[in-house]
Amino acid sequence: SQRFEDAVWSQGAIVRHIAAAAQAARRQHSCARALALWRLRAWRSRRVSALCRRRLTRCVGD
């Protein structure tokens, strides 16, 4: 009986985990798409890209 309850609980946990993973993947995908668009835009204007990179390295350096 206890083992059966554990099995049911773990199954529920797996389903919840998969749902959470899918949600995270969807969020990550949209984020990656936005980042790709931003990169494309930045690549089109190299000066902006260089400026952003310099600013980013300064932030990371601090």
| pLDDT tens column, 39-54 | 887 777 766 667 767 7
- Tokens coding 18: 């998969």
| pLDDT tens column, 19-37 | 888 888 888 878 788 888 8
pLDDT of residue 60: 60
In whole angstroms, what is the distance from residue 49 CA to residue 21 CA? 33
Domain residue spans in the chain? 2-61
3-state secondary structure the chain: CHHHHHHHHHHHHHHHHHHHHHHHHHHHHHHHHHHHHHHHHHHHCHHHHHHHHHHHHHHHHC
pLDDT of residue 42: 76
Give the pLDDT band of residue 62 (cuts 50, 70, 90).
very low
